[in-house]
Amino acid sequence: MKAEKALGKLHLIDSSTISMCLSGYEWADFRETKSEIKIHTSIQLCYGNVSLNKVISTPARPADGTQLDALIVHDKDVLHVFDRGYFNFKTYDAYCETGIKFATRITANTIVHVMEELPVDASSPFTRHAIVIIGIMKNKHSW
């Protein structure tokens, strides 16, 4: 099975920082001697086509996560992929509650509760497949 069929529509979300001269861009001050802006992007990979979905520019100082909600597409067929710069359990909980699918890397100190181990085909590049809950379990009966 092609990855494209298995994954469906992918939206890749990331940001890049661009350094600029402080005297020309005082609104984006970052350090005493320079300004920086951040370009937040969502790129859509869908059925062999790649297109720019959304671009948001901000001063560099706010964290990446401040723009994540604006880059998310509310479509049950979309899988959003983003890095640890967007790591926020409350946001992840809200996305799960509304059916927004996403994949991201977790931090090394993330608490992972394995709910169910699933079989992995020997020819697969994956070494483990499991259903997990991440974060601190406040009430085991809530899941």
Q: How far apart (Å, rounded) are the C-alpha atoms in residues 47 and 41?
A: 20
In a domain, 79, yes or no: yes
Query: CATH code at 72?
Result: 3.90.350.10
The answer to whether the pTM exceeds 0.85 is: no
The number of folded domains in the chain is 1
In a domain, 76, yes or no: yes
In a domain, 10, yes or no: yes
End-to-end CA distance of the chain: 32
3-state secondary structure of 130: strand
Q: How far apart (Å, rounded) are the C-alpha atoms in residues 46 and 103?
A: 16
Taking CB atoms within 8 Å and a gap of at least 24, the contacts of 20-23 are none
Amino acid 69: pLDDT: 95
Dump pLDDT digits (tens) for 67-109: 999 999 999 889 999 988 888 888 988 998 899 999 988 888 8
